[in-house]
Structure 1
Amino acid sequence: MQNNPAAKTLKLRLYGTFSAEWSDGSKLNVRSAKLRAMIALLAMAPDMTRTRSWLQDKLWSLSGVELGRASLRRGLSDLKRAIGPDFDSLFVVSHDNIGLNHDLVELIGTSAEGEFLEGLEIAEGGFTSWVNEQRSNRPQLSSALEFFNPSDKTGILPAVAVLPFLQSFKRDGENVLGDMLAEEVSRALSRSQLIDVISHLSCRNLNMRLLNLADVRRALNVEYVIHGSYRLSGERFHLDADFLDADSGRIIWSRQFSAKMSDFLNGGQEIVADISRQIGQSILSTSIELATSKPLPEVASHALLVSGVALMHRLKLASFAKARPLIEEIIRKSPNHASLYAWLGKWYVLSVHQGWSSDLKKDSQIARDCTARALDLDPDCSFSLAADGLVHSNLLKEFDAAERRFDRATELNPNDALAWLLKGTMHAFRDEGMKAVSFTKRACSLSPLDPQKYYFESLTATALAADQQYDLALEYAESSLKENRRHSSTLRVKTAALHFLGREVEAQEAAKELLVCEPNLTVSGWLMNHPAANFKTGQMWAEAFRKSGVPSN
């Protein structure tokens, strides 16, 4: 790409009458409505790049495929003549794509200056649909929003906007504390696999004191919003926060949080974890309510996914059985999202490990097919890699392949809590207790609000037991069981930990509870199917089960 000889930028005005002007004051004289429209279409792309076929569909579909291609080529030639030597700096043209050099383009103007692309009407259905959609989704004249590109949210996850918290009674000046607090909550929420968090920078672009909820919904395309104000009181600050349903405007909850200023500024995360946890729990309960009160085709995709994952991890057979149709329904709606197949694969893994599978070989193969499909769609999705690693370690007992998947997942996304958790569990099965504890503890620190909290605690207990830290393993197992009494894996860890602590009577009671959840469990069957069976840790656990009352055969 050639350098811009004058080091100038192109200022595009998309509200009101379209205009394009160089930063030196000279006009970009483009008379053709379709060519002005093409520049606007490129400017509104997330990376200012569109495919040639997409542009043809929007601007020359009535001409047919061949004439459309020729019209696009002719349009580029006309633009090159109109722009002159700056064309090669401004446009990035390849065989498949056409784009603008975003370093040289500045979007100016606000909705207060008029309708989006006002007066630019083209008799092409594709463009008409696109521009009408943009107009309906953009802030209206009453908004005080500054212009920025729209969210490219796909709708698979519930989206949350954490708006900067305002200082009560202060109308002007800096708001460092409120901004920092909103940024930390956004960062904590973003660690969840089940929440789509709008970037803090996007939220900061809004004029918070003049904003209304409809503006936020249109601009950021979110389902939920949290906002509020704080006041200082000596060494402490008190935050009054509202969590809202952005569609209806309904306040889901209104709560107060408090913390010492010095604790927060020195890295204390208690208030952040508390706010984030309550947001996560509210999204879960709201999603389950939506998914269970309507026919599945009428339920929004984000509610289907969140409720499906939540019900899957309750591990009551009735709830677990309801989870799979929810995940399958969203796959029907969005068949090209890798993570959906990964979640379905995990459902089959849990089915096998809970003893609910009627055909272990078949369900193991389905799980493998699901995670393989996920990686076909996106080989660099850390969650899909982690799910595939889970299948290889827990069902196929192919530890080398599993380790490669977990290593790649944590390399791509060092904040993927589930990848660290499952990686740690694999090391626990292989008698590598110290590594197992290190990785599972890291997973817990990365996932303070995950709906699978009991699952994280359960596998951390497994890691601690593999490291023969039985007191701490029992502590984590008990905490996990408070959230989910019917998780067989947790009950097995509890039974083994009690046995090795010499608390035989309690170990026998734990084994009885285990057999209620998994009535067909035998020591020989466990050794046949469990990935730890051929390692010292597995042999020790099997003996603990036998001595605690689990039948041998």
Structure 2
Amino acid sequence: MPDGSPSAPPLRVALLGPVRAWEADGREIALPTRRARALLGILLLARGRPVGRPRLAALLWERSGEAEARASLRQAVLGLSRALGDLVRRDGESLRADPALCETDVLELLAGEGSIPGTVPGSSAMAPLMDGLEGIGEAFDEWLATEREALRVALKGRQAASLAALEADPDRREEALEAARGLLALDPAEEEGWRALMRLLAAAGNRAGALAEYERCKAALRRVVEAEPAAETQALARGLRAPARPALLPPPPPVPAERRLRVGVMPLRQAGAGAAPQLALAYAQEAALELARYRHFDVLETPALEDVDLRAPGTLTAFALDYAVRVAVREEWGGLRLQVSLVDLSGPPRAVWSGRAEIDLRAGGVDAEVVGRLVARLEPVILHAEGTRPVPRRPGEASEIVIRAMPLLFSMEGGSFHRAGKMLADAVTREPENAMAAAWAAQWHVFQIGQGWAPDPGAALEEAERLAVLAMSLDPESAEAAAIYGHVASFLHKDFDSAIHYLDRSLELNPHQASSWALSAATQAYSGHPEEALRRMERYRALAPFHPHDRILGHVFTTAYTLGGDFAKALAFGQRAVRAAPGFVNGYKPVLSALGHLGMQQEAKPLLAALLRIEPEFNVRGFAETYPFRRPEDREAYELGLILAGAPRG
């Protein structure tokens, strides 16, 4: 470095997303506890100003006594000092972070340096500030919410000013379009961003595109703030619909309304003599509420369908149903049984699945767990039926494209897998606000990286992150989107704390979503908790004994048994799983490790040869460096098994 040139600070800290820190040479620093990471964030956001110890103790240890809170604060400061050196300075009753010793992503953005994530092509969507630290306490959660909102408002103001300057320059229209989209990434309800998009597209001659943005604006406002567009926005849309030269410019084609599969829940109240007349209706209403947690279809409310006869002329036209769920309560063998059946209405009504469970009237009211377990069986049946239907119901609609791409995605066969990627990209393009399209496109990138098929793994990782965050922002109530984001965090980022947070949130949103249990089990296995992973996999299997994606999800059993040291069970599960999905590269590796530990080198040879045909560059060293092991001892045991099985060391 030439004399006089400034030296780079010795540390870099990211506060967007999980709190992480790196040395100047790029090596990541292991930070201590959650509260220590929260303390670091508080001090950095103070921008060098001192923060009183009583204030910090009250924010982070509000439920502890004063002496205990101060002792905990001292321990947190000691942990940060061991990890980060002199970054945290003590000043009597105050603490501060020395800004000269650290670069911080948030402070750089607030200073106007660099582009806001999610506002330029190819960048990741901006992750939440200090993600994964929610729940430390009410005082800290309130502080964090305030800081997040202040950051959003500040960046939104910066982006709005940039947009105004760019829109005023006719030669910078493309940059202005990106700035408008960036503003909407920060606030989907910011109408000036929508109006700018409409004006810019209309000025470029794309009147139909401008009107499409107006429709998206309406949908976003209804979703986010439950309001209609302002008078100024509506007037702009009216002007676009009335071109100045109607003879030369025909009106734009109407924007097609996206419609998901529609499922009606129908109570059969007279199904069993002696049954309480309202019992079937109560269970049907509970089934409709449970079914609404699954985001691939719309659920028609039960009262509208009471006593509907599926065979009556005009029924399907009137309700536009794709499937019906019939709920009956029957008296059998001296007790009551709940029966749920699924009817496909694509042609003449045809029952495609049914299940039943005993009702325990001693519990009082509706047994929600019984209903949840039965409804959990419905989603995989519908997804499989729609994904493999020879002729799609509504070709070209984003939701249908996603469902039809899923079997190809889980095939793990090169041609089918890449076709699924193109379909999911098409679905995201057709409907940018479809959360399921974004979530499953993110999952496709995760599998692409795991299979070693990504031409640029770094770019694929960024795109997976962007799409997963987008899916959660589009539908915060989607258990599936939260689970996929959690899987991205653990498998790609090795950020196990954030992964567990989002996967647990997924299970809170829908405790009967079988795939979420499987993905959460995988993260538990990576994190060094194989027993908990197996418990969650048993729950997954109980909810969906015949899940259409089990040929991939079921591999988590093998991984958990291998990491738990039960190599005989790992082998029993793994050999079946490899036969079911021979193209899934990560399915071979726990089986090979188990074979190595069992001293079965001869039996390992054909599996190793099959793996090397699919992944010719595979070696133990490269695998161990990239696979998400949280505990060094798990990595070492896994590596040893692979080496004993004869895998190339690298």
- Which of 345, 363, 369 is 2:442 aligned to? 345
CA gap 1:210/1:268 in 2 versus in 1, 3 angstroms: closer
- Aligned residue in 2 for 1:460: 557
Q: Deviations over 1:177-201 (max 9, x none)?
A: 7557756765775665545444xxx
Amino acid at match of 1:162: V
**1:74-85 → structure 2 map (5 Å cutoff):** none
**1:400-479 → structure 2 map (5 Å cutoff):** 400-448=497-545, 450-478=547-575
- Aligned residue in 2 for 1:360: 457
Q: Deviations over 1:521-541 (max 9, x none)?
A: 221221232122862212211
- Aligned residue in 1 for 2:324: 225
CA gap 1:522/1:213 in 2 versus in 1, 3 angstroms: farther
Q: Deviations over 1:465-518 (max 9, x none)?
A: 222233443444355446433322222222223333444433334333333443
- Aligned residue in 2 for 1:543: 640
CA gap 1:344/1:261 in 2 versus in 1, 3 angstroms: closer
The answer to whether 1:311 aligns with 2:408 is yes
Structure 1 residue 341: Cα displacement? 1.5
- Aligned residue in 2 for 1:155: 259
State the distance in 1 between where 2:441 and 2:507 align: 21
Are the aligned partners of 2:295 and 2:436 in contact in 1 as well (CA < 8 Å)?
no
- Aligned residue in 2 for 1:280: 380
**1:40-51 → structure 2 map (5 Å cutoff):** 51=228
Q: Deviations over 1:13-60 (max 9, x none)?
A: xxxxxxxxxxxxxxxxxxxxxxxxxxxxxxxx99997537499969xx
State the distance in 2 between where 1:180 and 1:488 align: 47
- Aligned residue in 2 for 1:135: none
Structure 1 residue 304: Cα displacement? 1.0
- Which of 338, 343, 348 is 1:250 aligned to? 348
State the distance in 2 between where 1:496 and 1:183 align: 49
Are the aligned partners of 1:443 and 1:456 in contact in 2 as well (CA < 8 Å)?
no
**1:203-242 → structure 2 map (5 Å cutoff):** 203-208=302-307, 217=316, 221-227=320-326, 234=333
Gaps of 5+ in 1: 1-44, 65-128, 130-152
The answer to whether 1:508 aligns with 2:605 is yes
Structure 1 residue 330: Cα displacement? 1.8
Are the aligned partners of 2:380 and 2:547 in contact in 1 as well (CA < 8 Å)?
yes
Are the aligned partners of 2:329 and 2:339 in contact in 1 as well (CA < 8 Å)?
yes
Structure 1 residue 369: Cα displacement? 2.4
CA gap 1:429/1:239 in 2 versus in 1, 3 angstroms: closer
Q: Deviations over 1:375-423 (max 9, x none)?
A: 4445564433332332222222233443443344445554454444333
Report the aligned-residue RMSD.
4.7
**1:77-226 → structure 2 map (5 Å cutoff):** 155-156=259-260, 158-165=261-268, 174-175=276-277, 178-179=280-281, 192=294, 194-198=296-300, 202-208=301-307, 217=316, 221-226=320-325
Structure 1 residue 428: Cα displacement? 1.8
Are the aligned partners of 1:164 and 1:182 in contact in 2 as well (CA < 8 Å)?
yes
CA gap 1:256/1:385 in 2 versus in 1, 3 angstroms: closer
State the distance in 1 between where 2:536 and 2:355 align: 31
Are the aligned partners of 2:265 and 2:327 in contact in 1 as well (CA < 8 Å)?
no
Q: Percent identity, please.
A: 20
Amino acid at match of 1:287: G
Q: Deviations over 1:446-473 (max 9, x none)?
A: 5556432233321233223222233443
Are the aligned partners of 2:596 and 2:643 in contact in 1 as well (CA < 8 Å)?
no
Amino acid at match of 1:388: Y
Structure 1 residue 162: Cα displacement? 3.3
- Aligned residue in 2 for 1:302: 399
CA gap 1:446/1:226 in 2 versus in 1, 3 angstroms: closer
Structure 1 residue 280: Cα displacement? 3.3
1:164 alignment partner, SS class: strand
State the distance in 2 between where 1:169 and 1:389 align: 45
Structure 1 residue 346: Cα displacement? 0.9
CA gap 1:168/1:338 in 2 versus in 1, 3 angstroms: closer
Structure 1 residue 164: Cα displacement? 2.2
1:160 alignment partner, SS class: strand
CA gap 1:284/1:360 in 2 versus in 1, 3 angstroms: same
1:341 alignment partner, SS class: helix
- Aligned residue in 2 for 1:113: none
State the distance in 2 between where 1:475 and 1:213 align: 52
State the distance in 1 between where 2:383 and 2:348 align: 13
State the distance in 2 between where 1:194 and 1:62 align: 33
Are the aligned partners of 2:490 and 2:496 in contact in 1 as well (CA < 8 Å)?
yes
State the distance in 1 between where 2:408 and 2:362 align: 35
State the distance in 1 between where 2:545 and 2:285 align: 16
Q: Deviations over 1:282-319 (max 9, x none)?
A: 542433335xx57x993333321111122111111122
1:163 alignment partner, SS class: strand
Structure 1 residue 273: Cα displacement? 6.6
State the distance in 2 between where 1:490 and 1:509 align: 14
Are the aligned partners of 2:328 and 2:340 in contact in 1 as well (CA < 8 Å)?
yes
Are the aligned partners of 1:227 and 1:242 in contact in 2 as well (CA < 8 Å)?
yes
Structure 1 residue 345: Cα displacement? 1.1
- Aligned residue in 1 for 2:626: 529
State the distance in 1 between where 2:571 and 2:530 align: 15
Q: Deviations over 1:253-298 (max 9, x none)?
A: 46776777889999899999789647733542433335xx57x993
How many matched pairs? 414
Amino acid at match of 1:520: E
Are the aligned partners of 1:345 and 1:387 in contact in 2 as well (CA < 8 Å)?
yes
2:559 alignment partner, SS class: helix
1:289 alignment partner, SS class: coil
Are the aligned partners of 1:481 and 1:490 in contact in 2 as well (CA < 8 Å)?
yes
1:498 alignment partner, SS class: helix
CA gap 1:284/1:57 in 2 versus in 1, 3 angstroms: same
Amino acid at match of 1:323: A
Structure 1 residue 323: Cα displacement? 0.8
Structure 1 residue 240: Cα displacement? 9.8
State the distance in 2 between where 1:514 and 1:344 align: 26
State the distance in 1 between where 2:416 and 2:403 align: 13
Worse overlay, 377-386 or 331-340: 377-386
Are the aligned partners of 2:341 and 2:353 in contact in 1 as well (CA < 8 Å)?
yes
- Aligned residue in 2 for 1:94: none
Amino acid at match of 1:452: H
State the distance in 2 between where 1:338 and 1:421 align: 21
TM-score by length of 2: 0.52
CA gap 1:470/1:308 in 2 versus in 1, 3 angstroms: same
CA gap 1:379/1:48 in 2 versus in 1, 3 angstroms: closer
Worse overlay, 309-318 or 453-462: 453-462
Gaps of 5+ in 2: 1-221, 241-253
